[in-house]
Amino acid sequence: MTATTPPMIRMAGVNKHFGSLHVLRDIDLEVDRGQVVVVLGPSGSGKSTLCRAINRLEPIDGGTIEVDGTPLPAEGRALAKLRADVGMVFQQFNLFAHKTIAENVMLGPVKVRRMGKQQARDAAMTLLDRVGITDQAGKYPAQLSGGQQQRAAIARALAMRPKVMLFDEPTSALDPEMISEVLEVMVGLAEEGMTMLVITHEMGFARRAAHRVVFMSDGEIIEDAAPQTFFTTPRSDRAKDFLGKILAH
Amino acid sequence: MLGLIDYFEPVTDNIGLFADAFLVTLEICLYGATGSLLLGTLIAACRVSPLPPLQRVGSAWVTVFRNCPLTIVLFFCAFGLPEIGINAPFFWFGIIGLVLYTSAFACEAVRSGINSVSAGQAEAARAVGLTFIQSLGTVVLPQAMRTVVPPLGSVIIAMIKNSAIVGAVGVGGDLFSTYGTLVSARGLPIIPVLLGVAAGYLLITIPGGILLGVLERRVAVAR
Ligand SMILES: Nc1ncnc2c1ncn2[C@@H]1O[C@H](COP(=O)(O)OP(=O)(O)OP(=O)(O)O)[C@@H](O)[C@H]1O
Ligand SMILES: [Mg+2]
């Protein structure tokens, strides 16, 4: 990789309001290729908005966002093409309820990448095998456990061969015993060198897989440090306070 | 018994006329329903699209055609369009008016169905890289079906009944005009003729309702 390679994600001077609420304040953030960044912060601090701004599910009011050197296009085909390269995993899984697990994973490759059905099915089965749910391929999302649904959702995102993966609290809606099966898949991805932006309060994941931890509060990035540094010696009072709360239980 | 048969002689004697008129009305309804569903879905797509200008066109469309009396819309089509140089048989003007008017109601039925599908479904579709049209067509509308069919059915039944007004504007040859032909022009008794006309409409709306019930059960079972 040369010094001129653009970062995978670059946000510069990004601002966003919901009405009079200023949810993103002058956000500057770069995520390099192969880097895993964990975003932390109290509820309402703007983590989801930041994550959704990166593939323009949430349009911003000011500043620039680039993915792999390309500024986010306005609504239209170019934006759809960019989104295809950015995998996204939601807290609520959002699997297509009327399609089977295999069809969920195949839909993007067939409709967006114009891949043949059979090839897409084979690729889907390989991915489902990787996340450990081949036996669920023919079922509908509602028939799966939360952990299985989230793993299917990860497979659906991976099927597009994304350049970067965004995770918005992927384990927050899961029963405790299912959290680790999802985190395992994510750690595996990180080890393979996937560029990832992960909103999570799972300290274990941050310690094991993250290169950086970004701490947000009231729409601002307050700290940006290596996990070890952040967890042991947070600089700001807000981070200390936050860590005190989440480490208390 | 014999008296009853005598009573309906104005209908039985003109059964061929009734049959032809029935077919004309059926034709109006088929074109009308197809056009209204397609146009209504298109307008609904505009209303939920990410492009503000399209949203505004969609909501203006609904505001105008849902709030204008059908008779006025029909008069605009039948007598206004020729004024500006558009010429076609009354039959087509009637269908255009009926479609314009009904599309506003169809749009709102489709839109409420779209809104019943959780926003996360469309977001996931867009995040995968589907275009707006693809996400609507492959993810949102199929899931909206279940909630859309019943209200859309009511819209179409109302349209079938409204097609009588198309007849009143002067399409000619349809069920409603039969009244004019037999009662006003030939002086036959009013009530048996009207009963015959009504029966013709019921022959479309009642099977239509049954078909709708079947369809409702189908989409309720399909996931
Ligand atoms: N669509 C919206 N309309 C109006 N306000 C919104 C909208 N989405 C989010 N907000 C507000 O913006 C702020 C930031 O929300 P965001 O979801 O980004 O926070 P978060 O850090 O992800 O919180 P959580 O940990 O609870 O998920 C909150 O105050 C929220 O209420
Ligand atoms: Mg959030």
pLDDT category at B169 given cuts 50, 70, 90 is: confident
- B27-173 folds as MetI-like fold (1.10.3720)
Whether residue A157 lies within 8 A of chain B, CB to CB, comes out as yes
Ligand 1 within 6 A of A246 CB?
Answer: no
Instruction: Return the pLDDT at A50.
Output: 97
pLDDT category at B173 given cuts 50, 70, 90 is: confident
| Residue partners of A172: CB distance under 8 A and separation at least 6 | A91, A200, A201
ipTM for this prediction? 0.92
First to last CA, chain B: 53
Instruction: Return the pLDDT at B21.
Output: 92
Instruction: Return the pLDDT at B1.
Output: 64
Q: Which two tokens stand for residue A249?
A: 């239980």
Atom number, ligand 1, closest to the C-alpha of residue A19: 4
Q: Is the dihedral of CA B123, A59, B115, B156 positive or negative?
A: negative
pLDDT category at B220 given cuts 50, 70, 90 is: confident
Rounded Cα distance between B43 and B65, Å, is 12
Neighbours of ion ligand 2 (CB under 5 A): A 48
Instruction: Return the pLDDT at B222.
Output: 61
pTM, two decimals, is: 0.88
Is the predicted pLDDT of residue B89 greater than 80, yes or no? Answer: yes
**Domain layout of chain B by residue ranges:** 27-173
Which of B51, B54, B128, B133 would you mutate first to test chain A, the one with the most A CBs within 10 A?
B128
| 3-state secondary structure string across A125-144 | HHHHHHCCCHHHCCCCHHHC
Rounded Cα distance between B73 and B99, Å, is 10
Instruction: Give me the count of residues in chain B.
Output: 223
Render each residue's pLDDT in chain A as its tens digit; 249 residues: 455 789 999 999 999 999 999 999 999 999 999 999 999 999 999 999 999 999 999 999 999 999 999 999 988 889 999 999 999 999 999 999 999 999 999 999 999 999 999 999 999 999 999 999 999 999 999 999 999 999 999 999 999 999 999 999 999 999 998 999 999 999 999 999 999 999 999 999 999 999 999 999 999 999 999 999 999 999 999 999 999 888 775
Minimum CA distance residue for ligand 1 atom 25: A43
What distance in angstroms lies between residue A43's CA and the mean position of ligand 2's atoms? 7
User: Looking at beta carbons, which residues of chain B come within 8 Å of A95?
Assistant: 124
Minimum CA distance residue for ligand 1 atom 28: A44
Single out the residue of B125, B151, B124, B155 nearest to residue B138, CA to CA. Answer: B125
Whether residue A83 lies within 8 A of chain B, CB to CB, comes out as yes
Element (H, E) at A146: helix A146-158
Is the predicted pLDDT of residue B94 greater than 80, yes or no? Answer: yes
- Which carries the bigger pLDDT value, residue B46 or residue B220? B46
The average confidence (pLDDT) of chain B is: 92
Probe residue for ligand 1, chosen from A48, A172, A214, A245 as the CB with the greatest number of ligand atoms within 8 Å: A48
pLDDT category at B223 given cuts 50, 70, 90 is: low
Rounded Cα distance between A88 and A131, Å, is 16
Cβ <8 Å between B124 and A75 = no
What distance in angstroms lies between residue A114's CA and the mean position of ligand 2's atoms? 33
Single out the residue of A166, A186, A161 nearest to residue A49, CA to CA. Answer: A166
Single out the residue of A97, A73, A220 nearest to residue B120, CA to CA. Answer: A97
Among all residues of chain B, which has the CA nearest to that of A165?
B127
pLDDT category at B100 given cuts 50, 70, 90 is: very high
User: Looking at beta carbons, which residues of chain A come within 8 Å of B125?
Assistant: 96
Amino acid at A180: S
